[in-house]
Chains A and B, each alone.
Chain A
Amino acid sequence: EVQLVESGGGLVQPGGSLTISCAASGFTLSAYWMHWVRQVPGKGLVWLSQIDNYGIDTNYADSVRGRFTISRDTAKNTLYLQMSSLRADDTAVYYCVRGLIGLDYWGQGALVTVS
């Protein structure tokens, strides 16, 4: 069974940094592209970032490029999102999502509050 479990969310001050993790099970990260999507509570979904199955090619939304970094550890089968220079408008639930003809399996989300 495919599972994605995010961790590492929490409260961080403006200007601070935080790294959230996504532990994958039921499949191998190195076989899929992986993505991060966020959602401000009560608002819509926003795609943030993608990493290819080789861990080489990445893409970012303009709103986070230069501040956020997507990476993975294949030995741990874990995806990461390193976030820096955090702002109040980065407050959101962050979802880890597997990429297969778009986005297929989603994690349960990690809440990040910048305040």
Chain B
Amino acid sequence: DIQMTQSPPSLSASVGDRVTVTCRASQDIRNDLGWYQQKPGRAPKRLIYAASSLQSGVPSRFSGSGSGTEFTLTISSLQPEDFATYYCLQHHTYPWTFGQGTKVDIK
């Protein structure tokens, strides 16, 4: 199975901060990676697909980059509604696997 190592597990940030979350795949997954945001009690919502393409309706402060084994989700200016848990997902090879999640909370 492909392991997705996500870091950091949690971070504290302030409104307006630039935030970066990283996922490392245990083998080359090309650009078969998505990023998801989940708020408590809610279903996940996709932010980024194909590593760097912005999902329709998602604010442009979210961006993704990377290919192969190293991927990054960046929030350019953190907003109050962005406090949530973020997950990466590799869909290159079954079984598909998620990162462990990064909880972003208020500093």
Contact = CB atoms under 8 A, between A and B. Distances in A.
Do they bind each other?
A: yes
Interface of A: 35, 44-47, 50, 59-62, 95, 101-104, 106-109
Contacts of B34: 101-103
Given A44-B100, A47-B98, A61-B95, A102 B46 contact: yes
Contacts of A109: 43
Contacts of B36: 45, 103
Contacts of A35: 96
Contact of A106 (B45, B91, B100, B101): B45
A45 to B, nearest CB: 4
5 contacts: A44-B101, A47-B97, A95-B44, A101-B50, A102-B89
Contacts of B97: 47
Interface in B56-107: 87, 89, 91, 94-101
Given A101-B49, A102-B34, A107 B98 contact: no
Contact of A45 (B33, B42, B44, B45): B44
Given A44-B100, A108-B43, A103 B91 contact: yes
Nearest to B31: A101
Given A61-B95, A102-B49, A103-B34, A44 B87 contact: yes
A100 to B, nearest CB: 8
Most buried by A among B33, B45, B96: B96
Contacts of B50: 101-102
Given A104-B49, A107-B43, A59 B94 contact: yes
